[in-house]
Amino acid sequence: MVLEEDPLIRPLLERWLAEAGYEVMGVRPRPGEAMPVLVIADVPDPLSAEALIRSLREYAAPILALSARFRRGLAGSPEAAHRLGVNKVLPKPFTREEFLAAVRESLEGPA
């Protein structure tokens, strides 16, 4: 599931996921629809993201947080993810390869 407000970024992320063989679902699963196995969420302001992250926990799925407000060195930082309460953080901008690697790591855990 991709939660991204930017109308240019969201379709790009969905296309990258589909091309890599992932199924992208709607923001709110319909009754009877499978729950997401990963939530990818844009976090506009990591300092005030607590309510957003708390609301995403209802899905009981790993959370990959994307933000232009993350510093570039945080991509591999488990401490930053832990402080935010997510499985992985990925600073924007990122490449297709960086994004898909973060998705894989979020789903499978660190290599």
Count of Cβ atoms closer than 10 Å to residue 97 Cβ: 9
Task: Please report, in angstroms and rounded to a whole number, the separation of the first and last CA atoms in the chain.
Answer: 23
Rounded CA separation 99/59 (Å)? 21
Who has greater pLDDT, 80 or 63?
Answer: 63
> What confidence tens digit (pLDDT) does each residue in 96-108 have?
999 999 999 999 8
Q: What's the whole-model pTM score?
A: 0.86
Instruction: Tell me which H or E stretch contains 97.
Output: helix 96-108
- CA neighbours closer than 13 Å in the CB half-sphere of residue 23: 8
* Whole-number pLDDT of residue 107: 92
The 10s digit of each residue's pLDDT in 1-56 is: 999 989 999 999 999 999 999 999 867 666 667 789 999 999 888 777 888 899 89
- What is 2-25+35-94's CATH number? 3.40.50.2300
